[in-house]
Structure 1
Amino acid sequence: MTGIATLAIAYVLSQFYRSFMAVLTPALTAELGATKAHLSLASGVFFLTFALAQFAIGVSLDRVGPRRTASALLMLGGGGGAILFAAASTPWMVIVAMALIGIGCAPVLMSSLFIFARVFSLARFSVLASWMVAFGTAGNVIGAAPLAQAAEAFGWRPVMAGLALVTIMVALAILVLVRDPQSPPGMDQGAVGFDGYRELLRMRVLWPIIPLTAINYAPTTGIRGLWSGPYLVDVYGADALMIGQVTLFMALAMVAGAFIYGPLDTIFRTRKWVAVAGNTIGLLAILYLAVDVFADVAAVTAIFVIIGLTGGSYGLLMAHARAFFPAHLVGRGVTLMNFFSIGGVGAMQFATGAVVTASVVPGEPTAAYSALFWFYVAMLGAAIVIYLWARDAKPQPAAA
């Protein structure tokens, strides 16, 4: 359990690193000359390198185990990237730093899910995965008002240097405390190496699940981690503290949402329809912003909370896909689906940056953000429609 606890702390850092830049928007713009395009690219490359690393991580989990995989990448990528971020003097150094941090954070949650899949029953996987995500989402909370206050008091560079040290210490703790689970006795190894991914991609049962896995998290993390800052600055003239306060409520909602999703498949005896209902509510919340992009701050905060609550279906969708994985491909299976999840977020970061840039109207700050929210509505709506064709994987009662 100490190993799982250490991975949970590492996942808090992972969640922090994917969302903290929204609060630092004013400082990065003023000190480094970072534009919206720079910030969008920096956020996008985090998710891009995170996603591309999944393939090698999946093979490494099945062959080497989570202990060495997670500790090495978190120390070198996460710790090294945070040091570079703290020393950045140009926007491009921030972009490179975020690419390194993405690689460093890439194996953390997957190592936890690999252990859950090997040690615990399938019936418990959804709850464990959702609750790990919920605990880790506390990183979003730290990256909101607390980060804003710390940066105000000490400066953002010392804060980032301190986080680099914490990241390295957590990586060392993983190396010492995590224990690799044993493979099931007599398990058929089947496809080896990267061939395992081809075997998984030939499974048509996964195809309708993939689009919603790729899109469901993108509006939540995109708004929380990237666009909330520029949106609040451009439309409401917000400072870092106001951004931190608004995003704090959204971050808390993301924590609560992941916890709430955890047992719902067991309660309602369906994974598919819980995911459909939750994501549809989130879609309607984003639609509200698309229609009324200049709503007052209180209304915007409430909508952000709803988006945060409903955007936590990651663990549920992973459990839905996990129900169809062969035993010998668990590591590659969870990393493949995570590739689509994180890759979808990264692609959407790049795409939304292009949408906002193309939709700017001088003197009319709401135009770009209206286009942004309509884009999220279209993409999430399409993914939900495709997911309707998915085969349900109804949870079985947990073994006594």
Structure 2
Amino acid sequence: MLLALISGFALSQAFRTITAILATGLQAEFGLSAQALGLFAGAFAFAFGGMQLFMGIGIDLFGIRRTVLTAFPLTVAGSLLSAWAPGYAAVLLGQVLIGVGCAPAFLVCTVFVARYFAPQRFAMVSGVAMGLGGLGMLFTGTPLAWLVQQSSWRMGFVVLAGLALAAWLLIFWKVHEPAQPAHAGPRESLGAAVRGFGALFLLPHTLGIMLLALVTYASFLALRGLWLGPLLIERHGYSLVQSGNVAVAVSLVSLFGPALFGRLDPGPARRRRWIVGCSVLMAGLFGAIALLHSAWMDVGGAIAVGVLSGYIVLQYADVRSAYPAAMTGRAMAVFTMAMFLGVALMQWVTGLAASIAQARGADPYVAVMATIAAMLGGGVLAFRLLPAPRH
């Protein structure tokens, strides 16, 4: 069942990283500015993140299977709308629909692992799940770049729509949750479920966890899903397929990062220090990409970011241990919401930074990478200085 759920997560990974390859085609057809391109990339993440609370409530009230099967058809609809979009507004709406449809894709995997695996195996199993889900990013590297170069960016959406439909059918076929025991008590009401989410924000350690969540995955996805292709094409003269090859390399190494960090998980006593150290190192890599202007640094730094991004599984393990078992599903939903609202925020802010830099005749990619490094630094300070959970 977990592998079937991961297929939906893999498709969501593909959808959230398409902009790096489709960017030049979208800009050419619709005349998009860097800021408009950032808004396009952020629309998916904003819709995805904004729906996490509702998906968490849906999972609590109706279960994993019904929630994902109800939402995921919107992914197919949004893909087809984007493929035949007459203008920028329509393709933006398509991104929103795709984001809503994919909203439960990763959450159902983490909740499934939290419910059906022992707590001490959570980091390892969820790390493997994240790694397998990252296979979806491989399609948005060289294969998508070749497809777009041979046809158009619209064909990319058509193929993704077909793959999304196949994932929905696989989940429909394979995922069947155990029946609720008779002694489990009455189903929680909608109002009680909403109040349960509110209780999370009354705990003093929630703020620091969520502020760091806003920027960690967002930094990786801003690079891999939005700026990597334009950076290599415009700064170093790479072709679309060459930049796609680099994207595949970044995606490949990112597959192994979560499983690696899941196995290296030092446990609750030292986990938060690892999270701080990895976040600082990530900020340093973006600072180097901003300042060194070297093709070797840009490619090597992107690959290093791909490996290091796996430490996000330690953040999930931190959330798993920071809240009581009864709040696990809701805590995961709120954390995932923060991550993807952070993706939307970072993609919009970096698009704005690039537009301002271009207007002033400066290198837009220096502005983009320095902005990401600064946002990571702010998140680390919040995580380090605000109250920590009492284990």
- Residue of structure 1 equivalent to 2:115: 118
Give the Cα–Cα distance (whole angstroms) in 1 for the partners of residues 10 and 243 of structure 2: 20
Question: Aligned in 2, Cα 1:361/1:306: closer, same or farther, shift over 3 Å?
Answer: same
Residues 38 and 91 in structure 1, CA contact (< 8 A), matched pair in contact too: no
1:233 aligns with 2:233: yes
- Residue of structure 2 equivalent to 1:89: 86
Tell me the CA shift for residue 118 of structure 1: 1.2
One-letter identity of the residue aligned with 1:252: L
User: 5 Å matches for 1:139-154?
Assistant: 139-154=136-151
Tell me the CA shift for residue 17 of structure 1: 0.3
Tell me the CA shift for residue 268 of structure 1: 9.3
What are the superposed Cα offsets for residues 88-129 of structure 1, whole Å, 9 maximum, x if unpaired? 231222211111111111101111111111111111111122
Question: Aligned in 2, Cα 1:322/1:183: closer, same or farther, shift over 3 Å?
Answer: farther
Give the Cα–Cα distance (whole angstroms) in 1 for the partners of residues 261 and 172 of structure 2: 31
Counterpart of 1:318 (choices 316, 319, 322) is 316
1:221 aligns with 2:221: yes
Counterpart of 2:358 (choices 353, 357, 360) is 360
Give the Cα–Cα distance (whole angstroms) in 1 for the partners of residues 163 and 249 of structure 2: 25
Question: Aligned in 2, Cα 1:157/1:134: closer, same or farther, shift over 3 Å?
Answer: same
Tell me the CA shift for residue 223 of structure 1: 0.9
**Structure 1 SS opposite 2:205:** helix
Counterpart of 1:179 (choices 155, 161, 176) is 176
User: 5 Å matches for 1:58-137?
Assistant: 58-75=56-73, 77-137=74-134
Counterpart of 1:379 (choices 375, 378, 386) is 375
**Structure 2 SS opposite 1:202:** coil
One-letter identity of the residue aligned with 1:105: C
Residues 118 and 183 in structure 1, CA contact (< 8 A), matched pair in contact too: no
One-letter identity of the residue aligned with 2:115: R
- Residue of structure 1 equivalent to 2:247: 247
1:30 aligns with 2:37: no
User: 5 Å matches for 1:277-356?
Assistant: 277-292=277-292, 294-295=293-294, 297-356=295-354
**Structure 1 SS opposite 2:193:** coil
Deviates more, 1:170-179 or 1:216-225: 170-179
One-letter identity of the residue aligned with 2:351: G
**Structure 1 SS opposite 2:265:** helix
- Identity across matched positions, percent: 26
Tell me the CA shift for residue 212 of structure 1: 1.3
One-letter identity of the residue aligned with 1:96: L
Residues 68 and 175 in structure 1, CA contact (< 8 A), matched pair in contact too: no
- Equivalenced residue count is 387
Give the Cα–Cα distance (whole angstroms) in 2 for the partners of residues 344 and 187 of structure 1: 37
- Residue of structure 2 equivalent to 1:194: 194
TM-score (norm 2): 0.92
Give the Cα–Cα distance (whole angstroms) in 1 for the partners of residues 33 and 357 of structure 2: 16
- Residue of structure 2 equivalent to 1:258: 258
Kindly report the root-mean-square deviation, in angstroms, between the aligned alpha carbons of the 2 structures: 2.2
Tell me the CA shift for residue 61 of structure 1: 0.4
What are the superposed Cα offsets for residues 163-213 of structure 1, whole Å, 9 maximum, x if unpaired? 212212211221232122566865896982211111111111222211111
Residues 122 and 317 in structure 2, CA contact (< 8 A), matched pair in contact too: yes
Residues 270 and 393 in structure 1, CA contact (< 8 A), matched pair in contact too: no
- Residue of structure 1 equivalent to 2:17: 19
Structure 2 stretches of 5 or more lacking a match? none
TM-score (norm 1): 0.90
Question: Aligned in 2, Cα 1:201/1:268: closer, same or farther, shift over 3 Å?
Answer: closer
One-letter identity of the residue aligned with 2:37: L
Residues 33 and 355 in structure 2, CA contact (< 8 A), matched pair in contact too: no
- Residue of structure 2 equivalent to 1:397: none
**Structure 2 SS opposite 1:208:** helix
Give the Cα–Cα distance (whole angstroms) in 2 for the partners of residues 187 and 380 of structure 1: 44
Structure (1/2) with the larger helix percentage: 2
**Structure 1 SS opposite 2:51:** helix
Residues 22 and 225 in structure 1, CA contact (< 8 A), matched pair in contact too: yes
Residues 16 and 225 in structure 2, CA contact (< 8 A), matched pair in contact too: yes
Residues 17 and 224 in structure 2, CA contact (< 8 A), matched pair in contact too: yes
Tell me the CA shift for residue 32 of structure 1: 3.2
Give the Cα–Cα distance (whole angstroms) in 1 for the partners of residues 80 and 162 of structure 2: 8
Deviates more, 1:238-247 or 1:14-23: 238-247
Give the Cα–Cα distance (whole angstroms) in 1 for the partners of residues 305 and 31 of structure 2: 31
Give the Cα–Cα distance (whole angstroms) in 1 for the partners of residues 390 and 273 of structure 2: 10
Give the Cα–Cα distance (whole angstroms) in 2 for the partners of residues 266 and 52 of structure 1: 32
Residues 52 and 343 in structure 1, CA contact (< 8 A), matched pair in contact too: yes
User: 5 Å matches for 1:265-276?
Assistant: 265-266=265-266, 270-276=270-276
Counterpart of 2:365 (choices 342, 362, 369) is 369
Question: Aligned in 2, Cα 1:381/1:363: closer, same or farther, shift over 3 Å?
Answer: closer
